[in-house]
């Protein structure tokens, strides 16, 4: 499949889902209480638009496993893709300069599509069932992740009853106290959304929708970035990261943004950068099962 065709088909799918009131980055379609990041055959997570591509495929085909394999990877591990199964296209980015990191948007001079299959489409692979995560455990992880986020970045946060927003003028983030939210998970997701906006400040990632004077379209695009970043963070730390309810005004504004078939690909890339800025690998590593268990004791 050509990249342009993938742009068009992916955008059409997301628009159809949004018009139906479904966000592909929300756990409402998942068999568990959270959505996990898809992983490769070696356990390494996918990033950016590939996360969305695989979430959409999992939603369409009712997959619950998060591992994906190329045909050759499955065969090398003793597996066999079942006859008649259709794979899912994802994108590999190859930097023009080998000294530039793959996740750097400036390095993405070459892109190609390749096909992967979910573990549930493959026979003969070793079983490694993962148990669904309970909402109580998700809330515990959310509280620990929230504390780690705030301790690591020390943003200027103002508890503001009934409102959540980021002010570029004062570089302050605002949201109510945890007791005002329906759950610690929703409190954390709201914080991640507003902190994603915070990353767009000129002193950080310098996004047009924050550091400049945004148009309505730029504002909607920035909201999409923040919503995706919150979802990506949630998938990384193991909680529901979807912040916004399915308000028609947001869904409609995102549909207008997606008139450009490349917009969701760019937004996913920007969201991944924001996610990585807020939760670098060193911070994620600190959210270990041991720490979670100690907190639960």
Predicted confidence at residue 248, as pLDDT, reads: 62
Residue 291 has pLDDT above 60, yes or no: no
d(CA 92, CA 114): 7
Cβ-in-10-Å burial (0-12, 13-18, 19+) of 263 comes to buried
Residue 244 has pLDDT above 70, yes or no: no
Half-sphere exposure for 285 (CA within 13 Å, toward CB): 3
Give the pLDDT mean for 60-79. Answer: 95
Residue 225 has pLDDT above 70, yes or no: yes
Predicted confidence at residue 25, as pLDDT, reads: 83
Predicted confidence at residue 247, as pLDDT, reads: 56
Residue 245 has pLDDT above 80, yes or no: no
**For strand 156-159 and strand 110-118, is the pairing parallel, antiparallel, or unpaired?**
unpaired
Predicted confidence at residue 215, as pLDDT, reads: 86
pLDDT digits (tens, 9 = 90+) for 128-159: 645 445 555 788 999 999 999 999 999 999 99
C-beta separation of 34 from 80 below 8 A: no
Predicted confidence at residue 126, as pLDDT, reads: 87
Predicted confidence at residue 132, as pLDDT, reads: 46
Give the pLDDT mean for 237-253. Answer: 71
pLDDT digits (tens, 9 = 90+) for 7-64: 999 999 999 988 888 888 876 555 555 678 999 999 999 999 999 999 999 999 999 8
Q: What is the mean pLDDT of the chain?
A: 86
Q: Per-residue confidence at 294, pLDDT binned at 50, 70, 90? A: very low
d(CA 235, CA 223): 18
Residue 101 has pLDDT above 60, yes or no: no
Residue 127 has pLDDT above 80, yes or no: no
Location of structure tokens 């590939």: 50
Predicted confidence at residue 28, as pLDDT, reads: 59
Give the pLDDT mean for 178-188. Answer: 94
Q: How many CB atoms sit inside 10 A of residue 131's CB?
A: 7
Residue 256 has pLDDT above 80, yes or no: yes
């Amino acid at each position: 499949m050509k990249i342009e065709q993938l742009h068009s088909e992916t955008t059409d799918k997301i628009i159809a889902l949004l018009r139906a009131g479904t966000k592909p980055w929300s756990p409402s379609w998942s068999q568990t209480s959270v959505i996990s990041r898809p992983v490769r055959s070696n356990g390494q997570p996918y990033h950016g638009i590939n996360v969305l591509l695989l979430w959409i495929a999992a939603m369409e085909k009712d997959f619950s496993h998060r591992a994906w394999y190329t045909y050759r990877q499955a065969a090398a591990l003793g597996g066999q893709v079942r006859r008649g199964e259709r794979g899912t296209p994802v994108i590999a980015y190859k930097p023009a300069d080998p000294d530039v990191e793959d996740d750097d948007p400036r390095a993405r001079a070459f892109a190609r599509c390749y096909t992967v299959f979910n573990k549930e489409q493959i026979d003969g692979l070793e079983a490694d069932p993962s148990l669904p995560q309970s909402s109580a455990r998700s809330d515990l992880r959310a509280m620990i992740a929230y504390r780690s986020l705030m301790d690591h970045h020390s943003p200027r946060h103002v508890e503001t009853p009934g409102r959540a927003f980021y002010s570029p003028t004062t570089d302050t983030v605002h949201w109510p106290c945890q007791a005002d939210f329906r759950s610690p998970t929703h409190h954390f997701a709201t914080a991640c959304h507003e902190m994603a906006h915070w990353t767009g400040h000129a002193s950080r990632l310098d996004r047009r929708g924050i550091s400049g004077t945004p148009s309505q379209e730029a504002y909607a695009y920035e909201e999409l970035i923040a919503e995706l970043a919150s979802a990506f963070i949630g998938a990384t730390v193991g909680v529901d990261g979807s912040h916004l309810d399915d308000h028609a005004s947001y869904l409609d504004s995102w549909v207008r943004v997606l008139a450009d078939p490349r917009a969701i690909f760019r937004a996913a890339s920007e969201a991944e950068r924001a996610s990585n800025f807020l939760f670098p690998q060193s911070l994620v590593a600190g959210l270990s099962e041991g720490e979670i268990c100690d907190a639960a004791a």
